Structure 1
Amino acid sequence: MALLEVTNLDVRFGLRQGEVRALRDVSFTLERGERLGIVGESGAGKSVAAFSLLNLIGKPGFIAGGSITFDGLELNSMSERALRKVRGNRISMIFQDPMMTLNPVLSIGEQMVECLKAHRRISSKQARAIALDKLQQVQIPSPETRLDQYPHELSGGMRQRIIIAIALLLDPDIIIADEPTTALDVTIQAEIMALLLELCEQHNVGLILITHDLGVVSQVTQRMLVMYAGRVIEQGPTREIINDPQHPYTQGLINALPQMATPGERLNQIRGSMPSLSNLPDGCAFHPRCDFINKANGEPRPACVQKVPEFVDSGNCRVACHMVAEMQEDRRLKLEEIS
Structure 2
Amino acid sequence: MALLEVKNLEVSFGLRSGAVKALRDINFTLERGERIGVVGESGAGKSVLGFSILNLISQPGRITGGDVRFEGKSLQNLEDKDMRTIRGNRIAMIFQDPMMTLNPVLTIGDQMVECLLAHREISKSAARKIALQKLMQVQIPSPEKRLDQYPHELSGGMRQRIVIAIGLLMDPDLIIADEPTTALDVTIQAEIMELMLELCERNNVALILITHDLGVVSQVTQRTMVMYAGRVIEQGPTKEIINDAQHPYTQGLINALPQMGVRGERLQQIRGSMPTLQAIPKGCAFSNRCDYATERCRVIPEFTRSGGCLVACHMVEEMVAQSENKAQEGGA
Question: Which residue of the partner structure matches residue 305 of structure 2?
Answer: 313
Deviation track 1:138-173 (CA, whole Å, cap 9, x = no partner) reads 000110000000000000000000000000000000
Task: Write the distance in 1 (CA, Å) between the matches of 2:243 and 2:263.
Answer: 21
Question: Which residue of the partner structure matches residue 36 of structure 1?
Answer: 36
Unaligned runs of 5+ in 2: 324-332
Tell me whether 1:167 sits opposite 2:202 in the alignment.
no
Question: Which residue of the partner structure matches residue 96 of structure 2?
Answer: 96
Task: Write the distance in 1 (CA, Å) between the matches of 2:315 and 2:70.
Answer: 35
Deviation at 1:58, TM superposition (A): 1.2
TM-score normalised by L of structure 1: 0.94
Deviation track 1:31-60 (CA, whole Å, cap 9, x = no partner) reads 000000000000000000000000111110
Deviation at 1:302, TM superposition (A): 1.8
Letter in 2 for 1:158: M
Deviation at 1:185, TM superposition (A): 0.3
SS in 2 for 1:323: helix
Letter in 1 for 2:291: D
Query: Aligned residue pairs: how many?
Result: 323
1:12-23 aligned within 5 A: 12-23=12-23
Task: Write the distance in 2 (CA, Å) between the matches of 1:96 and 1:236.
Answer: 25
Deviation at 1:330, TM superposition (A): 11
Task: Write the distance in 1 (CA, Å) between the matches of 2:279 and 2:78.
Answer: 32
1:130-169 aligned within 5 A: 130-169=130-169
1:113-128 aligned within 5 A: 113-128=113-128
Deviation at 1:264, TM superposition (A): 1.1
Deviation at 1:260, TM superposition (A): 1.3
Task: Write the distance in 2 (CA, Å) between the matches of 1:108 and 1:280.
Answer: 44
Question: Which residue of the partner structure matches residue 187 of structure 2?
Answer: 187
Question: Which residue of the partner structure matches residue 264 of structure 1?
Answer: 264
Decide whether the 8 Å contact of 2:306 with 2:320 is kept in 1. Answer: no
SS in 2 for 1:133: helix
The match for 1:323 among 305, 312, 315 is: 315
Deviation at 1:104, TM superposition (A): 0.2
SS in 2 for 1:9: strand
Tell me whether 1:217 sits opposite 2:210 in the alignment.
no
Deviation at 1:262, TM superposition (A): 1.9
Task: Write the distance in 2 (CA, Å) between the matches of 1:82 and 1:325.
Answer: 44
Misfit runs of 4+, over 6 Å: 328-331
Question: Which residue of the partner structure matches residue 273 of structure 1?
Answer: 273
Letter in 2 for 1:44: A
Sequence identity (%): 73
SS in 1 for 2:279: coil
Deviation at 1:261, TM superposition (A): 1.6
Decide whether the 8 Å contact of 2:226 with 2:234 is kept in 1. Answer: yes
Question: Which residue of the partner structure matches residue 235 of structure 1?
Answer: 235
Task: Write the distance in 2 (CA, Å) between the matches of 1:251 and 1:328.
Answer: 17
Tell me whether 1:208 sits opposite 2:208 in the alignment.
yes
Letter in 1 for 2:207: L
Task: Write the distance in 1 (CA, Å) between the matches of 2:291 and 2:321.
Answer: 16
Deviation at 1:326, TM superposition (A): 4.6
Letter in 2 for 1:206: A
Task: Write the distance in 2 (CA, Å) between the matches of 1:133 and 1:260.
Answer: 41
Alignment root-mean-square deviation, CA: 1.3
SS in 2 for 1:190: helix
Deviation at 1:63, TM superposition (A): 0.3
Question: Which residue of the partner structure matches residue 246 of structure 2?
Answer: 246
Letter in 2 for 1:316: G
Task: Write the distance in 1 (CA, Å) between the matches of 2:220 and 2:155.
Answer: 24
Task: Write the distance in 1 (CA, Å) between the matches of 2:5 and 2:291.
Answer: 34
Tell me whether 1:303 sits opposite 2:296 in the alignment.
yes
Deviation at 1:227, TM superposition (A): 0.1
Task: Write the distance in 2 (CA, Å) between the matches of 1:85 and 1:60.
Answer: 25
1:72-111 aligned within 5 A: 72-111=72-111
